[in-house]
Amino acid sequence: MGLLEGQNLLLLLEELSLPAASVHNFDELRIPYRAVATDLATGSPVVLGSGELAKAMRASMSIPSALVPVKIDGKLLADGGVANNVPVDVARQLCRPDIIIAVNVGAPLIATEQLNSVLAITEQLTNILTVRNTTQQLSTLSRSDV
């Protein structure tokens, strides 16, 4: 299901988030937080606002084919970038900010002449999904946003 199981990554995330280990409602963190993952059964975004913080973070970064998906509440979750790469809508709902600073870390589409392997085509399919949802989310930003 993935090249890497991700246990070491989960252990690192648990260590880094240890001061918040007893917090299960992410609104109670010093800075309210949401992780966005993708439900592999439906393709829908899943916004994680409670539970184990490290596990939620790990689920939201489970890049398809690279890291094994994470099971949370009966859902098999992968990288949120597949369904919602720049979750502007989640940020607006969570904290109703005056401005949003959005960073698009998505990959651009691959040039036709470079689509010469199964891996490149698989990457392109993922990029197409990501570019579509990123474009939609970025279109909701106002002039005051960055």
Tens digit of pLDDT for each residue in 116-134?
999 899 888 888 888 887 8
Picking from 134, 62, 60, the residue whose alpha carbon sits closest to that of residue 103 is 134
More confident residue, 141 or 43: 43
For residue 52, what pLDDT is reported? 96
Rounded-to-integer distance, Cα 101 and Cα 97, Å: 10
Q: Are residues 66 and 12 in the same domain?
A: yes
For residue 4, what pLDDT is reported? 56
Q: Are residues 110 and 73 in the same domain?
A: no
**Banded pLDDT at 82 (limits 50, 70, 90):** confident
Picking from 33, 25, 30, 27, the residue whose alpha carbon sits closest to that of residue 91 is 33
In the chain, what percentage of residues exceed pLDDT 90? Answer: 53
Rounded-to-integer distance, Cα 52 and Cα 20, Å: 9
More confident residue, 95 or 12: 12
**Banded pLDDT at 104 (limits 50, 70, 90):** confident
Q: Are residues 115 and 74 in the same domain?
A: no
Q: Are residues 77 and 103 in the same domain?
A: no
More confident residue, 53 or 66: 53
Q: pTM for this one?
A: 0.79
**SS3 for 83?**
helix
Would residue 93 count as lying in a domain? Answer: no
Domain extent for 129: 98-146
More confident residue, 131 or 19: 19
What is the pLDDT averaged over residues 8-35? 93
Of 60, 84, 108, the domain-final residue: 84
The count of domains in the chain is 2
Cα torsion 34, 35, 41, 43: sign: positive
What is the pLDDT averaged over residues 2-17? 82
Residue appearing with tokens 């709902």: 93
Return the H-helix or E-strand segment holding 9: helix 7-16
What is the pLDDT averaged over residues 43-49? 95
For residue 14, what pLDDT is reported? 94
